[in-house]
Structure 1
Amino acid sequence: MRFLIRTEKKLSSELRSDDYSNAMELKKLSNGDDLQAETINQARVLEGSLRNVGVHACGVIITPDITNFVPIATAKDSALYVTQYDNSVVENAGLLKMDFLGLKTLTLIKDT
């Protein structure tokens, strides 16, 4: 219980008063047994989940063996490996991501 009190105090110091009161109201509503509470709790489950995936048209990661660094999958319409991470996560992991805009450049890299 002390953890919850500390968390609420921390929240109240980090948020504007209107935002804090709205968050507390939302928390109170989510504890109910009605449709409103069920909707809020279902939204909490869905928040942050992936809606769709895509392949960057000209993004290339240059690495010796990509499977040593990030999880991969095979692209739906080709035999290319694609990362299962977003581009910013790949860059923050220290991998070299290049955006080659010319198709000729991509063909040269693929054939090398």
Structure 2
Amino acid sequence: MVADTSVIPSAASALALIERIEDIAFPAVPPDADERVIEALAEECVATIPPETSHALVQGEFTRTVELVRRLPARGITCLAATSSRNVEEIIRCTGQLIRLCCYFVLVLQLRK
């Protein structure tokens, strides 16, 4: 995979292009999964993506991500990944509740085979 930073220079410009965002939960990859299991999980994931999808933010478990990046372009879907800055701010409320604020997207990258 190659990340092409010239296509989408910033998260802000990428978000300006988005009409609709849909979060699709992908199945967990068992730690003992072999190639066939991972390929089947990737196919299952691809089948859940609406046909009108043009771009997909593909992140998560690495082996599944690789398989998705191999398959989605054949459906005309551009694969994206995002980098983030892990600026964590902790706030303790007067009730003792801890609140953590973190993770700001910095850059959206297009992934190519």
Structure in which a larger fraction of residues adopt strand? 2
- By relative contact order (CA 8 Å, sep 6+), the higher-ranking structure is 2
TM-score normalized with structure 2 length: 0.26
The structure with more radius of gyration: 1
TM-score normalized with structure 1 length: 0.26
Structure in which a larger fraction of residues adopt helix? 1
